[in-house]
A and B are shown apart, each in its own frame.
Chain A
Amino acid sequence: MNRPPVAQAGPRHTSTPATFPVTLTINGEKRTMDVAPWTTLLDLLRDRFDLTGTKKGCDHGQCGACTVLLDGRRVTACLTLAVMKDGSDVVTIEGLASGDALHPLQQAFIDHDAFQCGYCTPGQICSAAGLIAEGKAKTADEIRELMSGNICRCGAYPNIVAAIRQAMGAMGGKP
């Protein structure tokens, strides 16, 4: 990889290249927006689509607050460029409930008091939805390990694990 020095030696790129039309199905609704290529999926959701349920914690892939389901798989939206995901399906925390009926994970987080400040919660719940869809976690140890990408600054971890176990049972392993 002989590229980095070349790229770094160059001037900071300040021209404004073209924007790209990006079409995403967000929580079941098809939406198109012109985006600059450096727009992350997280910023697109929050700043352009006003879907502020998805949180920005670290902006570097380290906390999981920005977790969404992209084509059914959990990813961190802060390290995802929107332009690269043209045509994809996105589910955010706003898209999990059906009308007034909470998603089983949302209900379980309430039942188990699985949050304090709530800042990590949308990411925790979307991540847990991904975890259940993956079907790799059976034991509490496995839930803890496979949820380790979601940091909770308030330390609600034991209750989060309990909530996920309840929802897993209620959902019979289905997302």
Chain B
Amino acid sequence: MNNFEYSRATDVADAVRQIAADPAAKFIAGGTNLIDLMKYDVERPARLIDITRLPLKSVEETRDGGVRIGALVPNSDLAYHPLIEQRYPLLSSAILAGASAQLRNMASTGGNLLQRTRCFYFYDVATPCNKREPGSGCAAINGINRINAILGTSEACIATHPSDMCVALAALEAKVHVMGPSGERSIAFEDFHRLPGDTPHLDNNLGPNEVVTAIELPAEGYAANYSYLKIRDRLSYAFALVSVAAALKLDGGRIKEARLALGGVAHKPWRNRDAEAALRGEAPGRAAFEKAAAALLAGAKGYSHNSFKIGLARRAIIRTLTQAANATPQIQSVKKIR
């Protein structure tokens, strides 16, 4: 790890002031991603601004029936919060599918959003990587790309966003509240993370001097019919090869509303309105689910080691929709896929 200066931010305005004053500084919250990357010399900030003392630690109901989650709420507290467990069980389940109990105790809501890819070459400073070093090339495209993306890729980068929590937040259409030098703004979840294009060094649309202050959930939590299914190389404590968040509203034997998002397959949680439209008005069942899977995976492209993800994702989508429709969501501690 490189040597660095350390300072504490006293409030949100102070955090913004400090980050704007030092272009080589980074915020640190739980530290579970940043310290890891610093130990590999992938990140080398000259200063860390500790934001853990900011008052962003509450989970509160909003006036329009939604919930506002402070950026520093630990992942474990969020997953087990009664409001989230009862009204947004999809979010609870997705968080509990990720990392380990220790890491969830440390990791913050904001940090989870901003965690960086687990692409092997991004982590290995001896190899070319356009995300780590713009213009150096992409070692994954013709390398060991088993864990890499199949959707929304570019010639420059085929990395995935590794978060589980974000897949549920995408399906639930959360909003991200941020504060910067010119004030507050909020970003729709689908506009928060980016596709790599020819600027893979940018993971998301957060400005260089902005701090994430909160995530807001809309009132509708799809608590009756949902499931989060994560497929990985071992049964726990591993990143997703493919994960699916499905949420349905059923009415008189028909699907009234549907939300579907994929993790582990793209540079951002993957949604596609055509897939959701394909479900609306249909009777829940294999025929409709297959159509939705085909729509969601339209344009999927495999590389030398990850073509298996296309078929895996198709089957996982159908299974997760079935679990949601039957109100038998995957339980993260039970490893048998129901």
Name A's B-contacting residues (CB within 8 A).
1-8, 10, 12-17, 20, 36-38, 40, 59-61, 64, 67, 73-76, 79-81, 83-84, 127, 130-131, 134, 136, 139, 141-142, 144-150
Q: Which residue of A13, A127, A131, A149 contacts B2 across the interface (Cβ within 8 Å)? A: A13
- What residues on B are CB-neighbors of A134 within 8 Å? 76, 101
A-B contact pairs, 15 of them (CB 8 A): A2-B202, A3-B26, A5-B133, A5-B134, A5-B201, A7-B46, A17-B5, A38-B38, A61-B32, A64-B100, A80-B106, A83-B50, A84-B50, A127-B102, A134-B76
Q: Does B39 contact A (CB under 8 A)?
A: yes
Docked CA distance A7–B295 (Å): 40
Q: Could you say which residues of chain A place their CB within 8 Å of the CB of B282?
A: none
Measured between beta carbons, the chain A residues less than 8 angstroms from B332 are 145
CB pair B101–A7 under 8 Å, yes or no, is no
Distance between Cα atoms of A37 and B46 in the complex (Å)? 12
Q: A74-B102, A145-B236, A149-B101 are in contact. Are A1 and B333 (CB under 8 A)?
A: no
Which B residues touch A67, using CB under 8 A? 102
Chain A residues with CB under 8 A of B52: 84
Find the residue from B3, B203, B204, B206 having the highest chain A CB count within 10 A: B3
Could you say which residues of chain A place their CB within 8 Å of the CB of B76? 73, 134
Neighbouring A residues of B4 by C-beta, 8 Å? 13, 17, 37-38
Nearest CB of chain A from residue B136's CB, rounded to whole Å = 11
Would A20 and B100 count as touching, CB distance under 8 A? no
Could you tell me if A149 and B100 are in contact, using CB atoms closer than 8 angstroms?
yes
B168 at the interface (CB under 8 A from A): no
Closest to A40 in B: B35
Q: In angstroms, how far is the closest chain B Cβ from the Cβ of A105?
A: 15
Q: When the two chains form the complex, which single residue of B2, B31, B207 contacts A80, counting CB atoms closer than 8 Å?
A: B31
Q: Which residues of A contact B48 (CB under 8 A)?
A: 37, 81
How far does the alpha carbon of A79 sit from the alpha carbon of B99 in the complex, in Å?
13
Identity of the chain A residue whose Cβ is nearest the Cβ of B42 in the assembled complex: A8
Whether B103 is near chain A, meaning CB under 8 Å from some CB there, is yes
Q: Mark B121-144, 1 if CB is under 8 A from A, else 0.
A: 000000000001110000000000
A81 touches B236 (CB 8 A): no
Contact between chains at A20 and B105 (CB < 8 Å): no
Q: Does B114 contact A (CB under 8 A)?
A: yes
Q: Does B55 reach chain A (CB closer than 8 Å)?
A: no
Whether B196 sits at the interface, judged by CB under 8 Å, is: no
Query: Considering the chains assembled together, what is the distance between the CA atoms of A84 and B49 in angstroms?
Result: 10
Which residue of B39, B44, B105, B206 is within 8 Å of A8 (Cβ)?
B44
The answer to whether A4 and B132 touch across the interface, beta carbons within 8 angstroms, is yes
Compute how far the CA of A131 lies from the CA of B100 in the bound complex, rounded to whole angstroms.
Answer: 11
Cα separation A136 to B237 with both chains bound (whole Å): 17
**What residues of B have a CB within 8 angstroms of the CB of A40 in the complex?**
35
6 tightest CB-CB pairs across the interface, nearest first? A149-B100, A37-B6, A148-B236, A145-B333, A2-B208, A148-B237
A76 to B2, CA, bound (A): 20
